[in-house]
Amino acid sequence: MSTENEGTAVPADHPAAPSTPTTPPTPPAPPTAPPASAPTPAAADAPTAAQPPTAAQPPAPEAAPAPAPDAAHAAHSAHSAHTPAHAAHTPAHAPAPESAASTPAPAAAGAGWPPPPPTVPAWGAPLPPAAPEAPRRRTGGLVAAVLVAALVAGGIGGGIGYWAAQRGDDGVSSTTVSSGEAPASFKREPGTVAAVAATALPSVVTIQAKSGGSQGEGEGGTGTGFVYDQEGHIVTNNHVVASAADGGTLSVTFPDGKSYDAEVVGRAEGYDVAVLKLTNAPKGLKPLPLGDSDKVAVGDSTIAIGAPFGLSNTVTTGIISAKNRPVASGDGSGGSNSYMSALQTDASINPGNSGGPLLDASGAVIGINSAIQSTGSGFGQSQAGSIGLGFAIPVNQAKNVAQQLIRTGKPVYPVIGATVNMQEQGEGATIASQGSGGTPSVTPDGPAAKAGLKAGDVITGFGGHQIDSGPSLISEIWTHKPGDQVKITYERDGKTSTATVTLGERTGDS
């Protein structure tokens, strides 16, 4: 198959002769050269020096020059002299070289592509050497052009890269942003944990309590508290400072590292709330704002700040998991339990967080972190870590207690004047058959007696909250103030009844 015209269009009416025609029979050697005006068909494909190639016929490659004109003419003349019969078929005037080159040889009947070689003249003039395949040269030229273009493009690309590198070296900065180009004063939006923590941390303190007297010098623990007012009062848990209450020492350390001595103003063992006073309170104290724990909703965000296991200024986050959770917790010294209708949170709280603030998303105090549920040890302040069950004293209750302690140094508890069973659980709070030391279980002329309650009655509701045990009843009672009137639901002999009780009061821990 010929490749001469590969890559170029072939004219419809001028098919090109094959580049390698079949070898014709060898004619007798011509004695004389033919006339100069009648070149052979094969010789017409290669223009002579006097016959430059036209646009329609590409120049023959230099590797295949045409035979010398004198030899071709001599061969033609000799042939004409010996074959006069064939001379009549020779045209009087030889056509122009381009006409001879463009006239194809007749193809054999029924033959397809490639066409047969051109008809060998009868006079048998020897054919010149076949020209090399032009398409290969042209394809080579095309490849060369592509290579040249690629080299030029590569050179341009390299030049551009070098130019860009040179400009970069001359001081053109990169389009990437490094940390050094970040805004110098990055401000966090109000309400974010970082913003709340930054505002609250300066007002949260770490408390070191050391016991004295009979408890042994140097023993104590670490807890947390927060600035309550500008006079230097610090609110914390009772069990944080209980070990130093009798002859011990207390020191308060702020996040800036400054420490101050402190003394106990008052403690409420039942509420697990205590108030301290800095002996040399610095100026410029910023009390934490107090929120409204009654308006807290389950799912609200919470932020706890404290010193878990002595790691001061630790911030953890979570949500309000439940409200009005009855919790009884000990102070760690074997004393009486504390009772609270607690806020439950999943913010990580550990030993050392006790007494620290539980904040809402605005940074207001909604509770005082007080107890955790730990695996295998119940409620309390053991060294077990957080399992996501933390409990805080509602701030509304803590505020009332703190104000009472600052005014009088003693706590005041609301009471109903009845002794209830603290062991049974699940069916309400049952009024015991008798009180401690053989006293009546219902105080004569007390709040419960005036409301018509008797021994054996089972209190199942208090102030709209369900009661399932004695501790839960006390927890609900202590969320109120003395003098409050509260509706009670109780069962007697299988019948449910209601009554309204006006709460009495008891001063001090007993």
Helix then strand then coil, % of the chain, to nearest 5: 25, 25, 50
Residue of 354, 386, 441, 472 marked active site: 354
Tokens of 192: 């974010």
Active site residue 272: yes
Give Cβ neighbours of residue 254 (< 8 Å, ≥ 6 apart): 202, 205, 260
Tokens of 53: 């190639």
Q: Are 5 and 135 in contact (CB under 8 A)?
A: yes
Ordered alpha helix ranges (H), 84-189: 84-87, 97-102, 134-169
Tokens of 85: 């019969």
Active site residue 484: no
User: Residue type for 290, please?
Assistant: L
Beta strands 249-253; 204-210: pairing state:
antiparallel
Tokens of 212: 């004295």
Determine phi and psi for 437, rounding to 5 degrees: 70, 20
Give Cβ neighbours of residue 416 (< 8 Å, ≥ 6 apart): 446, 447, 448, 453, 477, 501, 503, 504
Nearest alpha carbon to residue 207 among 85, 41, 368: 368
Active site residue 354: yes
Residue of 73, 80, 203, 272 marked active site: 272
Dihedral of the CA atoms 12, 16, 21, 25 (nearest 10)?
Answer: 80
SS3 46: coil
**Rounded to whole angstroms, how far apart are CA atoms 130 and 132?**
6
* Burial classification of residue 23, based on how many CB atoms lie within 10 Å of its CB (0-12 exposed, 13-18 middle, 19 or more buried): exposed
- Residues with a catalytic annotation lie at 239, 272, 354
